[in-house]
Every structure is written in structure tokens, then in C-alpha cells.
Structure 1
């Protein structure tokens, strides 16, 4: 087979030699030449198939690596939630959750969309990738310093109603670390160094948080224990992110900071930054509004349910670092159908893992939350609604990733409309239903956003974008019936039977009836 020029980003052959074959067959030819043209077209089709197979292999490798990271994060995050809930209680967790939300909001502002936009900046070419990364670092640090100063001057923004808020102002100093870690990992993702993100975010950060929070609970610093533990975990994560980035890219020799160049980078990323900010706000607005209408104890209960539900959402995030560079490259090189194929493939993979997790955690929800303490067991309905919201968020976020590279302004409008809808529904439902109202408003808004984004993306790419398959619904229905029947059992036997039973039953059905050979590449090391 005639091989194409390797792609700079992926190392896979390109399809351009196929077009050369077609150009050679434009003139009327005799029968022997017709045979040669057919052979050439066949080589072109084989080359395009090879490109797609290699791309699917890259997605599978990246997805496997990050899904392993999800399992590691689950193994660390769940013990943290249990220990923190039992050692500190719902009220302290409520204060901690609100402070972390504010700090991460400021960090999201300072990152200016570079978590996903840095791949597009590097894919533009024309500049040394080391210099692009250095620009991103400096731009992020400058904005992070500004945000930190605001929180330092007004600590009540992080700790509303807390008497010791002034003494906790140092918590704001963690913002630059969050920004540096995010930008470093974005640069490494462009080089397909996904294992660094797994190590930093799924091993080092959650385990430092868990161990530090547990130890500090038995010291005189217990009232600050969760905040100090978060501080230490982020410092460890930024160290594990920045140092590998420096080793991978090298020192940016010849780089000179330029206000104009960084301002232009920020301007180009404004649509993406706006979309990121709106998406982030969509996932935190529920907690913010609940915190204004309810006390810290109910916020703490909601936070625990939110964290349990987010474990399902982390499955989708597993594919982001590898999918973003491949989508940006496919769109930039004028291959929209390939971009749609990537999204459909990853979407099916994500839903086939996320749906059984949603069912396994949601059906015995009261028992799952009861593990954190008796005061948390009343949040079963909140957990079920949040898990459904995570399921809707998977399709919405994947479609959004495609819109970012095709119709960024349209995506921003959809994101803003979704946020406005959530705010309206939250203000209507939270005063009456509390945490369940906040979760329900989030779920309805995300469903609406997912439908709108997939329709708009399909129109932008000129290709069908559909991640759901009938096999998912069939396997999900059988697993749901099994889990619902198990609800007749007492709480502990119900959990013991439902969680592994739903996961295994769904896995067997989807593998047998839903996964085609291309889908199974995700779980076969020899095929990707």
C-alpha cells in the first residue's frame, strides 16, 4: 500500500495520496487503465480506512489510560468522602464545598479556556510549541494573581456567614496552582501524554487529600483540616503536572513575553473561555443557589450526593484529553465526517460505561449515601436526579467539544441559554424542594442543552451525530428491572446485590449485543 506522509500530531498516514490517485484518472482511459484507476481508488479507500482505524486506536489507547485513571480516582475519592463526612460532619463539609467552589470558579476564569484551547493554539503551527505553552502559563498566572487578590481582600466570598473567614483568606493562594496544573496538562495532552494527567489528578491529588484530611481530623487544626488538605493536594498535583511538562517540552529558549501576543491569544480563546465558564457555572449554580436558600448542613448533604454522582461523570472526562486534539485536527484539515465518527464512537463508549454506573448507584441511593453517615441517607432522590443529570451532561459535553471547533459562538449562545434555563428553574424549585429542586433543575437544563447541541453539531458537520444506540436502551432496561426488583430487600443486602449485579448484567448484554468489533478495541490492548 502506498503510504502517506505521517501526521505531525498523530504519526498516522494521511489520506492525501488517495486524492492523487483520483487526479490521475480524470481523462478518458482504455480498459487496462480503467483497471489501474480502480486499483488506485481501492488503495485510496484502504488508506482512508487505515486512517480511521489508527484514529480509533488512538482514542481507545487514550480512553483506556484515562479510564484507568478514573478507577484510581474512584478508589481514592470515595474513601475521602466517607472519612470526611464521618470525621467532619455535614456542616463542615458544607463550608468546605462552598469555598472550593469559589476558588475553582476564579481558577476557571483565569485559565481563559486554555484547558481545551491550548490544543488549538499548538495545532495552528508557525510557532514553537514551547513558546505557546510559556505564553499560556504567563497569561494564566497573571489572571490568577488578579483573582487571588480579590479573594484575599474579600474572604467572605469564600466563606459566607463564617466567623473565621478572615483567618482563612490564605485559602485563595491556591488559585495559581490550579491554573498552572490545568494549562500544563493541556499542553501534555497535545503530545498525547495522558498518563501524566492520570498520575497527577487520579493518584496524587485525591490520595494526598484523603490522607491529609484524615490525619488533620485528629489534631488541633481540625477546624481547618479540610482546607489544609485541599491546599496540600493541589500543591502536590501542580508539582506532578508542571515538572513533566518542562521535561516533555524543554525550556522555552528564545521565548520573550509579549503583552500583545498574549492578549491576542486571550482574545482568540474568549468564545471557548465563555463556554467553559458557562459550563462550569452550570455545574456549580445548583450549589450556589442552594447555599443562598439553605444552611451549610443541607449544602454538605448535597455536596456529598454531587460528589458521588460526579464519579459517573468522570468517565466522560476520561476521553477529553485525547479527543480534543483529534477533533481540532480533523476540523482544521477539513474532515468533518471523521470528526463526527470520533464523537459517535467516544459517545457510545462513554454511555456504555456511564449508564450502568448511574443505575448501580442510583437504585440503592439511600444505602449508598448512608455509608457517609445516617444524616446523609435522606438524599436518595437528590442522588438519583444528579446521576441522571450526569448522563445528560455526557452527550452535551461531547457535542459541545465538536461545536467549539466548528461554531464556537453558537456554542456559547447554547451554553448561556442552558445556564439561564437552569437559573430560572432553580429559583422556582429550590425554595420549595431544596436539594431535590436544585438537582432537578440541573437535570432538565442539561437535557435541553444536550439535545440542542447535538442537533446544531450535526448541521455544522453535515453528518449525523448520535451517540445513543438501541442496544444501550435494551441493556439498560434489563439492568433497571433487576435493580428495581432488588429494592424489596433490606438496605445492606440490596446494595450488595444491586451494585455488582447491575454492572455485570449490563456489561454482559452490551458486550454480546451492542459492541461491534470496532467498539471492542477499547478493551483489547492488542487492537489499539
Structure 2
């Protein structure tokens, strides 16, 4: 199902029908996954509920991708077959990027395999539960990638380094503005969130803290590989091989000392190195950085949200009220400091219109 989704949505992206990919990945999959998980949990399926929820979500996403592919191509185009020389040329050009995507998928799952190698099944279960909640952050970054891909392709072909810099910096700022709110909530209320599945999972609180930071870094800089794909695809392949080595090597040294938290630390180190390497590569290719000073303004909202949350927990405010206060303070700070003047005007117009 995963391969089918990727293949069909790649076809939609080729026709610049980005809305189908956004609908499938950013709406259908997370919404169906959340609803199915809640239903299974309420029905008492605590052991296999997440597995069946994920399967249902993938099936729904596959159906949405199939619909998008059907709308993007005619029946005559489906029936046409490319000549063998053309197919060979396409395969040769796609091989580096295809291999890179495969290895990136391996990297996303390597830390889970390392946990199963170093620790018992019970520890792996706790770690896996924490991983399931971090997928929400991944979906945020993945939702921007199909929108940005055609823009980056056009700017890369033109050699517009300055415009590429502004686009990437803006995307990173937007992703951080959304994801850091989830990071704050997961750090402050991680024990309650994991405890909702089962009291035995609440011990994975610190694992969740590290994992959400790692995934936030990965998602924020997820679009950095797009310019390299269009300019020097083999370099992305080199970077992913280096990151696989960093992840495995870091886990080998950290896991015996820190336990499963050490594997999560290895993942965080890997994604930090990936962000640094991809940023340096963009500088080398285009003489611009994919970020600017305003890119990291969402960190102000992170500080405010954490401060308000810790004060609320210290004063004994009910968890639900504390979470709402964190969300309100984070949103207000993001509006004031993270959003540009044009974005604030757009938000104000939308709020006035809805009111």
C-alpha cells in the first residue's frame, strides 16, 4: 500500500495536480488514522488497535491516491506504453533519486530496528508507542513538500538562488511554527498522552521528548533535499549513506549507556547532522542558506509555551485548562513574533471574515 501511494501520488505530482497529494497525505491519512485509533481504543482493542488503524489509514490514502491518479490521466494515457529505450533512460535518471528515497525510508525505521536489537519486546513496545505519536509531526512537513516541489524545480532551473533561499526559509519557519506547538504539548503532557494507551506506556515519557525534537528537526528541514534532487541527485544519496552510518554508530555507543533513550538520542543526532549537511550542500550549490534570522523566531513561542505550561503544572491547574493556555499563549506569540506583516494581515482578514 505504501509503494502504491507513493507511485500514484508521484504521477499526480508529475501533472502538477498537487491538491490530490495534499488531500491524500495531509488530510486523509492523519484524519482516518486518528479516528480509527480512537474507535479501536474505545472498543478495547489496546494490543492490535494501532496496527489495524494504520492499515485502514493506508487503505483510505491508497483510495485517495487512486482517485487522484484517475483524475490526472486519461484512459488513453493509461494504455500507452513507453518505448524500451525511453524507459531505460527514465530508469537511469530516476535510479539515484529512487535509491535515495528507499534509503530514506530505511533511515526512518532504522532506530526502531536498533531498539529491537538492543532491548526486550516490552521496551520495544514502549518505544513504538512513543514513535506512533511522533508521526503527526512528520505529516506536517510532508504536507508542504508536494506544494514546494514544483516551485523549487522552477527556481533551480532558473538558477534563482535568492528566491530559493526565501522559499526554503519561509517553509522552515512555517513548519516550525506548527510543529513546536506539538513539541511543547508532547513534552509537558507526554506522560498523560502515553498513559491514555496504558499505564505501562507512561514510562516512555523521556523517549517521547527526544523523539519529538528529532522528528521536528527532520520535518522542518525536509524540503532541503529538493533543490539537490534537481541539481545533483547523487549527492543526496551520499548524504543518506552518511546518516545511516551516524545513526547506527551513535546508537551503538549510546544505547548501552542510556537505554532506549540513547537510541532516540542517536536519531536526534542523525537528523541534526542531516539538517547541517543539507544546508551546507545548498550553500555549496546555490551560494545561499535555506534559512535566515526570522526562520528561528518560532523558538520564542516555544520558550513562552514551555514557561506557561510549567507554571500551570506547578500551580496545579487542571491538565485540559493548562493545555488550552499553552495553545493560546503559543499562538499569540507566534502571531506577534513569527508571522510576517503580510501574514498577520492575511490572518486578520480571515478572522474578521469568519467572525
- State yes or no: 1:240 paired with 2:58: no
User: Displacement of 1:381 after TM fit?
Assistant: 0.5
- Cα deviation per residue 1:22-79 (whole Å; 9 max; x = unaligned)? xxxxxxxxxxxxxxxxxxxxxxxxxxxxxxxxxxxxxxxxxxxxxxxxxxxxxxxxxx
- Cα deviation per residue 1:238-275 (whole Å; 9 max; x = unaligned)? 23222331222212447224444333322212222232
Match of 2:172 among 336, 340, 347: 347
- State yes or no: 1:281 paired with 2:106: yes
Are 1:364 and 1:494, in contact at CA under 8 Å, matched by a contact in 2?
Answer: no
Equivalent runs, 1:10-25 vs 2, <5 Å: none
- State yes or no: 1:271 paired with 2:119: no
Gaps of 5+ in 1: 1-176
TM-score of the superposed pair, with normalisation by structure 2: 0.85
User: Displacement of 1:286 after TM fit?
Assistant: 0.8
CA distance in 2, matches of 1:481, 1:227: 36
CA distance in 2, matches of 1:452, 1:446: 10
- Aligned counterpart, 2:189: 364
- Aligned counterpart, 1:196: 20
- Aligned counterpart, 1:488: 314
- Aligned counterpart, 2:202: 377
- Paired positions, count: 347
- Aligned counterpart, 1:302: 127
User: Displacement of 1:498 after TM fit?
Assistant: 3.8
Are 1:217 and 1:225, in contact at CA under 8 Å, matched by a contact in 2?
Answer: no
Alpha carbons of 1:390 and 1:207: their partners in 2 closer, same or farther (altered >3 Å)?
Answer: closer
- State yes or no: 1:511 paired with 2:335: yes
User: Displacement of 1:524 after TM fit?
Assistant: 7.3
Match of 1:463 among 288, 297, 301: 288
Match of 1:478 among 290, 304, 309: 304
The structure whose residues are more often helix, as a share, is: 2
CA distance in 1, matches of 2:214, 2:191: 18
User: Displacement of 1:223 after TM fit?
Assistant: 8.5
User: Displacement of 1:395 after TM fit?
Assistant: 3.8
CA distance in 1, matches of 2:107, 2:205: 22
- Aligned counterpart, 1:250: 74
- State yes or no: 1:442 paired with 2:267: yes
Match of 2:157 among 332, 356, 360: 332
SS at match of 1:465: coil
Are 1:430 and 1:436, in contact at CA under 8 Å, matched by a contact in 2?
Answer: yes
- Cα deviation per residue 1:345-380 (whole Å; 9 max; x = unaligned)? 111111111112211221222122112110111111
- Aligned counterpart, 2:232: 407
- Cα deviation per residue 1:381-406 (whole Å; 9 max; x = unaligned)? 10100011022213432222222222
Are 2:254 and 2:266, in contact at CA under 8 Å, matched by a contact in 1?
Answer: yes
CA distance in 1, matches of 2:19, 2:202: 36
Are 2:187 and 2:208, in contact at CA under 8 Å, matched by a contact in 1?
Answer: yes
Are 1:349 and 1:519, in contact at CA under 8 Å, matched by a contact in 2?
Answer: no
User: Displacement of 1:507 after TM fit?
Assistant: 1.6
Are 1:414 and 1:449, in contact at CA under 8 Å, matched by a contact in 2?
Answer: yes
User: Displacement of 1:296 after TM fit?
Assistant: 2.7
Alpha carbons of 1:400 and 1:203: their partners in 2 closer, same or farther (altered >3 Å)?
Answer: closer
- Aligned counterpart, 1:27: none
SS at match of 1:372: coil
TM-score of the superposed pair, with normalisation by structure 1: 0.59
- Cα deviation per residue 1:95-143 (whole Å; 9 max; x = unaligned)? xxxxxxxxxxxxxxxxxxxxxxxxxxxxxxxxxxxxxxxxxxxxxxxxx
User: Displacement of 1:447 after TM fit?
Assistant: 0.8
- State yes or no: 1:185 paired with 2:4: no
SS at match of 1:437: helix
Alpha carbons of 1:375 and 1:291: their partners in 2 closer, same or farther (altered >3 Å)?
Answer: same
- State yes or no: 1:454 paired with 2:265: no
